[in-house]
Chain A
């Protein structure tokens, strides 16, 4: 079944650790996105990609980095986690169809940095 996956679902980690949040989709979508959502707040786009070897920064400044080596995989990395990075991170994907491209979301990763 075509879907979008995120791992881990929950992560509690200490300050200064390097972490990678995984996102994979089996829908063959070219476009992928990372959003950040603080509790009770709206989602903000932090990274997106048009396809392999394409990465762009979103509206919200983030210390995280992303890579897109394979179409189906769009991991997000924090080199040195801090308490301010505590948030929910949501991955999404869509077809390369421009205006009518519906975005599909993964279940999210809830990150807590102590």
Chain B
């Protein structure tokens, strides 16, 4: 059974810092990995999707990497801003699971002024 773990569970950084969020998964047989952002009481916003054949994806200040063989992904946020404060979730799409995502419990990020 696939398990997705995110470390740390919570993180507080001052504005302007670069930071890394970690995601690990137990079964490397995945199609892709998605990073999402969730604001309190809201739905999920897709940030980046990395295919199993890819090593990284970039969007603006965000960079996500994937090491499928070791079951790890990182989300790098450059020059953090207070507006980045949210919970960040990673999710993997396993092969043969009819597009069922398995989610981690998330990292709650707070960027302070």
Contact = CB atoms under 8 A, between A and B. Distances in A.
A110 B98 contact: no
Given A94-B99, A101-B99, A102-B34, A110 B46 contact: no
B44 interface: yes
B103 A107 contact: no
Contacts of A6: 43
Interface in B55-73: none
| Interface of chain B, main secondary structure | strand
B31 A100 contact: yes
Contact of A99 (B34, B51, B100): B51
Contacts of B101: 43, 45, 103
Contact of B100 (A58, A102, A105, A106): A58
Contact of B52 (A31, A99, A101, A108): A99
A104 B99 contact: no
Contacts of B93: 99, 101
B34 A105 contact: no
Interface in A75-113: 88, 90, 92, 94, 98-108, 110
A48 B34 contact: no
Contact of B36 (A56, A105, A107): A105
Contacts of B91: 43
Interface string B72-98: 000000000000000001010101001
A28 B104 CA distance: 28
Interface of A: 6, 31, 33, 40-45, 48, 50, 56, 58-59, 88, 90, 92, 94, 98-108, 110
Given A40-B105, A42-B104, A59-B100, 18 more contacts: A33-B100, A42-B4, A42-B89, A42-B103, A42-B106, A43-B44, A43-B89, A90-B44, A99-B31, A99-B52, A99-B93, A100-B51, A102-B46, A102-B49, A103-B34, A104-B46, A105-B44, A110-B41
